[in-house]
Structure 1
Amino acid sequence: MTACALAFEASARAAEIWVITDREHPMEMAPGVRLIELDAPARIKAELSSKLPSDPAQASLIAQQRLKRGGSELQERLATAYQGVIGAWSLGVTKVPAIVVDRRYVLYGETNIARALASVEDYRQRTQR
């Protein structure tokens, strides 16, 4: 069986694939893969607090305006960012990049989803014998 066929077969058996990374470790994505960037909450916070004045009252007012202006799109970005971090922590993932398959198999350092899926499939085959 070719590597491409094996990767396709493995992806068909994988119910869920997460890529956990940060901006310093970009990854190529594939359809249906969940991207979790562990630094996303910090980036959003930096975006919201950028160039705030030193006066706390003014800074608070501007921050509130930014939150309001961001509306539901900003709320969704924040929720997604924190849910991703919580999901990664709940699995014990602390290093990036990591590819998680079916919330059961974690491959650290791998940046290619097809290779990760092939490795998981190979492991499954070896352990089912």
Structure 2
Amino acid sequence: MVSAHVQAADVLVFTDQWHPVEALDNVRVIHLDAAAEIEAELESGLPADPQQAAAIVRQRMDDGGNNFQARLATAYQGVVDAWSLGITKIPAIVVDERYVVYGDADVSRALASIEAYKRDQP
């Protein structure tokens, strides 16, 4: 069991749709391909005419309103966060912006590994 002092706010999980994770309900999971998925929604079924396509994309963005803008901003912020933390592989479970476990899709197990490492270090 992961100790109580690892708070959900201190844990970030970076992944994508191809690397599903078993995350705790209160852990933030950042899908690094979310921005590409949103862009694909915008580009779906566009006509070949660039002017018509641009008008349709603008309309889709307007129709999405604040929710769309927030989704897009959150998606790109996740990419920025991963880059700023130096994430090199996924899935990556990060605690306290200091400890990371790569390649483990089980967040509880990764958190337990980090806790064990922290206990063993002077």
Partner Cα separation in structure 1 for residue 81 and residue 119 of structure 2: 27
Match of 2:107 in 1: 113
SS where residue 79 of structure 1 aligns?
Answer: helix
Of 73, 78, 81, the residue aligned with 1:84 is 78
TM-score, with normalisation over the residues of structure 2?
0.93
Residue 13 of structure 1 and its aligned partner are, at CA, apart by 3.1
TM-score, with normalisation over the residues of structure 1?
0.88
Partner Cα separation in structure 2 for residue 117 and residue 97 of structure 1: 13
Match of 1:50 in 2: 44
Contact 2:31 2:78 in 1 (8 A): yes
Q: Deviations over 1:46-82 (max 9, x none)?
A: 1101110010110011001100011111111001100
Partner Cα separation in structure 1 for residue 23 and residue 107 of structure 2: 8
SS where residue 65 of structure 1 aligns?
Answer: helix
Partner Cα separation in structure 1 for residue 28 and residue 6 of structure 2: 16
Partner Cα separation in structure 1 for residue 86 and residue 18 of structure 2: 20
Match of 2:98 in 1: 104
Query: What pairs with 1:1-129 in structure 2 (closer than 5 Å)?
Result: 4=1, 7=2, 9=3, 11-14=4-7, 16-128=10-122
Is there any run of 5+ residues in structure 1 with no aligned partner, and where? none
Partner Cα separation in structure 2 for residue 109 and residue 37 of structure 1: 15
Residue 31 of structure 1 and its aligned partner are, at CA, apart by 2.7
Q: Point out 4+ residue stretches in structure 1 off by more than 3 angstroms.
A: none
Percentage of identical aligned residues: 54
Residue 108 of structure 1 and its aligned partner are, at CA, apart by 0.4
Is there any run of 5+ residues in structure 2 with no aligned partner, and where? none
Aligned-residue Cα RMSD (Å) equals: 1.2
Partner Cα separation in structure 1 for residue 90 and residue 56 of structure 2: 34
Partner Cα separation in structure 2 for residue 50 and residue 22 of structure 1: 20
